[in-house]
Structures are given as structure tokens and as C-alpha cells.
Amino acid sequence: MLKVATVNVNGIRAAYRRGMAPWLEQTDPDLLLLQEVRATDDVLRDHLGGDWHLAHAEPLIAGSKGRAGVAVASRRPIKLERTDIGPERFDGSGRWVEADVVLDDGSTLTAVSTYVFTGEFETPPRQAEKYAFLDAITARLTELRADGRHVLMCGDLNIAHREVDLKAWKANRKKSGFLPEERAWMDRLFEAGWVDLGRRFGGEGPGPYSWWSWRGKAFDNDAGWRIDYQIASPELAGAATGCTVHRAPTYAERWSDHAPVVATYDL
């Protein structure tokens, strides 16, 4: 059985100060995919500790430092890692990393951790960059799947797919994260055979959500968004046995504004 956890940590240092370590020890995933790491390789290794194989894309270009960084930490060997999603404009953005993980039977799983642009809420607004990045994701996933390998893309996509994926959907119909063009991109992804495991195992909704604002009573009122995903190639999805959101019991016990999404695979 392979256990995979993905979470936007909102800064690895801050997450550990708030209590990530006990969650990690208790959950004990085989693969841990992180977004918004906001740290160097050395800092990330120092915080994770233990016997982890690590693939990490640090944010290197202007506008990315301090807000991005993605990683795949694996208890199993990583034989290759890649951070190039295609267009040079995204090189060094710290938003895409692939790790070819060697499974117990000797086969390979390509695990991807990605952090998609928020779009219009960034300064300056970057909705066009978001659409270009989504197109690059489509092209890269198609390449990865072409040879029949298992592929798993995890991360903060900053898109709620359907009305059941955010509490205040009516108020957000014209805002980045729930725009028709973004939702249509997800439609095309799933029509091509990719599987949203959070929805498959989470029922028809509403929710379960994975992000809540730190402000106000959003968490207490469960006024959230489901924007964190485990999206599997069809063959890998067939091996999935469950997928849940690890929502903190209380506001005080949160160590990120996102909750981990954890799935198990019979591999």
C-alpha cells in the first residue's frame, strides 16, 4: 500500500512552528508533495528530517521568491527529477517538479507537485500567466502519460472545479479560481481520462474543502474552497483505495491555511 499526502504548507518554517511535525509523524506518508515551500534545499531537509529522498524546485526568478517552491519527498528512491514544464518563461518559478519514484515492485511512478498561479489576486495580476501555465500542464501531462507509466499530479491548482467545490460560489463566479475558462480547463482534463480522486472518494459535495482564509470565521463556518488535488492517470486511479482531507479539528490546531489531501494506492 502506498500512502501519498499533498499540502500547501504556506511556508515550511511557519508550518513547523504551528505544528506540522506531529501531523507528519502520525500520518507517515510514503510520498509527501509540498507547495509554497518558500525555502532552500537545506532548510527543507532540516525541517523534514529522517530518511527522505527529495526533489525540490526552489523559486529563483523575480516575483517567485518568498511565495512559491514545490517539492516531492519520498521514502522510496527517486531515480530522476525534472523541473522543466516546457515554456522557458516558467523556468525557475518554483511551480513544477516531477519525481520518478521507484516502487517496491521495481516499476516507476511519476509524481508531480505543482502550484498554479492565483491569477488576478496576484500583484500585478497574472491571469494570462495562469492560463499559459495551465496549457503547459496539459501538454506535459500528455507527454508523461504517452508511455503508459503511472502519473500522479498533486498540488494547489487554485481552481474550484464545480459549484460544490466552494461555499460562496455565487459571489465568486467572476473571480479568479472559479472563472468559466478555468473550470473548462478542468473539464477537458477529466474528459481526457485523468481522475480527480478527491471528488471520487469525497462524494457529490458540497466539499470537502481544503482551503479556508485565516481571516474571520471562514474555517469555523466551513466557508472554504476545494483547490488542492490528487489527480491520477486512469490506470493509477484504478489502484486508489481512498482519498480524504485532513481538516484540523479546530482553528487553533491549523498549521497552514490549506489542509492536506491524503490518498492510498494498492501498489
How open is the CA angle 217-222-227, to the nearest 5 degrees? 115
Distance CA(169)–CA(261), nearest Å, equals: 21
Q: Which of 42, 84, 147, 156 is catalytic?
A: 156
Q: Give, to the nearest 10 degrees, the angle between helix 127-145 and helix 180-191.
A: 0
How open is the CA angle 253-243-151, to the nearest 5 degrees? 120
User: Would strands 108-115 and 150-156 be described as parallel, antiparallel, or unpaired?
Assistant: parallel
Distance CA(29)–CA(77), nearest Å, equals: 14
Distance CA(217)–CA(156), nearest Å, equals: 22
* HSE toward the beta carbon, residue 197, CA cutoff 13 A: 31
Distance CA(169)–CA(48), nearest Å, equals: 36
Q: Is 42 a catalytic residue?
A: no
Maximum distance among all Cα pairs of the chain, rounded to whole angstroms:
49
The catalytic residues are 156
